[in-house]
Structure 1
């Protein structure tokens, strides 16, 4: 490229300058400025090196893996928040302002246990618990029947669903729920794609998030990264994030909030102005490269070349273009449509719900597709929604299955949100 040649080979060295020449004095002043910039750049790189060194020295694996995303028996995740804190603590004395509209009273212990087992994908044990509840009180415990019908629906067992429906209609002299042909059956046991969400200022404070990203990268080949809640960028933070992304070239990445982050980076850049480090420019190009946006990468690389008078990094297509996973939940009109399965610490989903809540009151979460949510994810959902409820926001869940409803009731979501069970 001819442009890059401008900064390549030099001609014969110029004759020694005349010390009395004013232009020489200006060049000398420029040299001082360049040296000062070089020293600031060196100091920034040293700071990034020091922070990374601190990360490495403090990194100690906190768990022993027995399989993907699992913890060995007897261990707990280091530093993980309590998943089901008292709603009295979360909301305060006056926090329970949003009544729950339920089709059941507080679930019996057997039904609670069945809900937990189902959330943990232990479908056979959950079925046994519900059978025990039905046998113990076949005339009155209609909720156990409905939960068992939901279990058969969720796991695609239509023959068992039809047989139980006949018994239900005979026992209660009313029509049973109908089989939903479009229902997505609960998938086999699998591990959720772990996610990391960066928020606030992108500076040295992101060290903890990057440590978690490092741990997850060692245990998983697929990762989700959310940048939507970043409010500003600093050169040190750009350098730290850039180095972390460079280590993930063999991973399958799903990125969210890249447009917002790119806009914040561009806001601190100016073509021709050399700042203390090249990291923001290089981070911007890396984000474009990861998304396989070659033309934008090339355009940015030309500006980078003009600014620093060096050849830019080449465009190397990513092994897998980073995209947002197609299974993400999405707004559906005024309601937010939840995905069929929610597992683990899903920061990206929670961030999407929070952004939707800022634009809609009441916040309506459509659970018509939701088949299963595990205990960890339900606890995280509770903690994410509690500040909204405490601030007076109205929260509604619609189309909730009986199995999910029982789990919500047990951990306290029914105390901060209005729940509408799925219609038959």
Structure 2
């Protein structure tokens, strides 16, 4: 053995002494590698042992679970039986507690009922009456009966008798419009003055239950005013003063008021006549609200008309949006065609369109501006067209359609009538009903429409109104219902009692307000 071999042997023995767990053949490897390999092997060995222990514990737990399930399937275990018994005990305890609670509630209700119903004994029978402290304190039999009758309807649990409630409702209705007064109003409307007077005299008789009602007496006095019987009015006014201990109403002749009102209307100047040679009936009159159906009626009317087309726009107040486009096309067609047009109320049409197309509001549909420009072109208003076109340019920031001379001819039928803007007054605007309202009263209602055209609070004075028959009431109901649909509620003031009661009977008060005269 050489010197080098002996040296390697000694170093190998020294390594073996430092690492006795290593194999002899591994001592020739570098020192770093054996250390790393040994450390890795130890770690792997520990991980394997830990996994084996975990697997053993898991298998043992699974075995226990399988055994428990097998026992439950076979008929239960003592532990489960104990659990069931404990559950039954808890539920039975809860049931007993609930029973005790219900028992206490019953006892409290029994105690409260004894306190509320003083005459009820705890056992359910009637308790003996408590004797009074002194004989003087005990009420008499008559007094007890009177008290029992007075407080019978207020006893707890007792509803008031049905006939009492019905009588109270009937009394309320009688107080507002007694049936006798309505009967007299109907007789008066039919021209039976004597029958109406007989009914009212019977109601104002001293033995009548209505003898103390002020409205019945005032209706009788209004009857004498309407019939012009001053002598009977004076006698009835004296009885009224004696009955109510105050002066009676003064005599007013409603017939004289009606004559004065008619004379005032006759003295009013007649409306200015149109230029000579232009008087003719319109081929088509525009309604207040122009719709697509209204445009269809317009085309049918013009198809049946002659070479000159006469249209009346004075009643127009609104053009519906779905009719704006077809109406624009119609006006453009008229402007481009050799037609002869005659308009009444062209200023009203332009005012409605100007309101529908405000300057500076870009949210408005452009069709309203186009319709307005088409109408101005059709009626030969070049200057107004240029101004509207400038406002159109300012609003939409685009060039407006240029002016093109219309091919047709146009004549304004209301020449000399200034297109004054509508001025709505906050003060009540009054129209007048006078005399006898009946039969064909369409002209009278048209006059009322003209008088109330710009009124925010339309009021009709009935101070000079003598009588309204059934036909007049029907026409009046249609008239007030039409105004109510437009959001305007008519108010009739200073009507005498028989007319006001008749308005209530026929249903005028369902669509209008009615107030009676105060004097």
Taking structure 2 as the reference length, what is the TM-score of the superposition? 0.36
| Greater RCO (CA < 8 Å, at least 6 residues apart) | 1
Q: Which has the higher helix share?
A: 2
Larger Rg: 2
Taking structure 1 as the reference length, what is the TM-score of the superposition? 0.42
